[in-house]
A and B are shown apart, each in its own frame.
Chain A
Amino acid sequence: MRHLLTLLIGAVFGTGIAVSGMINPAKVINFFDVAGSWDPSLAFVMGGALCVTFVGYRLVRRRPCPIYDPSFAIPQNRPLDARLIVGSGLFGIGWGIAGFCPGGALPALGTANTQVILFVAAMIVGILCTRLVVGRFAMVPPHGLEPRTY
């Protein structure tokens, strides 16, 4: 049952990405192109998602634990650091160039679009290279780059 529910939750996310238009790089890039062909749709996506999540999280956290797991896996609230800012800055540059973020590209993979496959392959290379390099300098525990904000 928990496996079926997890699959369905993924489908709700993927459908949301498709319906919102965030599966389309042209639409994402146009949100940021205020000086050109501006399309403010992304603000409505973030607004809709934040309203539901803000209220929903507070209702869910009244429970002592999730339905199928012993505890909530919530990231610790640690201080800001340079890695968070540098990483987020680099992510933004890549997002601006390609128009895909991970949450937009993964549902798009379902269509087997060649350009999406190229993007995700390059993204996976970036993820694995970074973990290899950062792991070598022993900044992180063996599993999971802290913080698991995700």
Chain B
Amino acid sequence: METAFTPGASLIGGALIGLSAVLLMLVRGRIMGATGILTGALLPAGYDDWIWRALLLMGMFCGPWVYFAVTGSLPAIDVPISGGLLLLGGFLVGVGVTLGGGCTSGHGVCGIARLSHRSLAATATFMLTTGLAVYVMRHVLGV
């Protein structure tokens, strides 16, 4: 499935992601990592540990609706694979981010901005395996 190259919108969207990471560090002193925020919201250490994660998640859910309010339509969400593969992918993502201690936002943005060598290694690894998985899915298996 072709998608349009959107350098302007992607740069602005990326800057907003960065802005949210900086503001979370300024206001709460926390890393903006989706994995950790979700895991901590599911298994909180106490009310204070839970409430900021729950509020952050609720704010995230509003994102597509802010987009709707500005543009008049919801953002496109096209899933080019079957339900079974979606479940397999989701499970692998859950296992991987828990073992690896972060995902694209925590390691890829916040960790690299801190010049953490663990985050650099994690990001290099998942960018490589994502590329391999996409190549195998699209050009070997033809899914």
Seen from chain A, the residues whose Cβ lies within 8 Å of a Cβ on chain B are 2-3, 5-27, 29-30, 32-37, 39-42, 44-54, 56-57, 59-61, 63, 65-69, 71-75, 77-78, 80, 83-104, 106-111, 113, 115-116, 118-131, 134, 143-150
Contacts and interface: CB of A to CB of B under 8 A. Distances in A.
5 contacts: A46-B14, A91-B95, A92-B130, A98-B90, A143-B45
A134 B18 CA distance: 32
B42 A128 contact: yes
Contacts of A35: 135, 138-139
Given A8-B59, A123-B91, A149-B33, A24 B17 contact: no
Question: Chain A's interface: helix, strand, loop or mixed, by majority?
Answer: helix
Nearest to B4: A39
Contact of A94 (B21, B77, B89): B89
Contact of A9 (B4, B23, B105): B23
Contacts of A10: 20, 55-63
Contacts of A15: 13, 16, 62-63, 66-67
B55 A14 contact: no
Contacts of B10: 20-22, 41-42, 44-45, 48
Contacts, number: 532
Given A33-B138, A87-B99, 5 more contacts: A16-B15, A23-B64, A88-B129, A103-B34, A129-B94
B134 A96 contact: yes
Question: Chain B's interface: helix, strand, loop or mixed, by majority?
Answer: helix
A97 B92 contact: yes
Nearest to A133: B95
Given A97-B89, A106-B57, A9 B98 contact: no
Interface string B98-132: 11111111111111111011110111011111111
B80 interface: yes
Contacts of A45: 10-11, 13-14, 17
The residue among A17, A57, A75, A150 with the most chain B CB atoms within 10 A of its own CB is: A150
Given A102-B97, A149-B119, A143 B43 contact: yes
The residue among B20, B43, B86 with the most chain A CB atoms within 10 A of its own CB is: B20
B139 to A, nearest CB: 6
A71 B3 CA distance: 43
Given A16-B15, A147-B118, A32 B27 contact: no
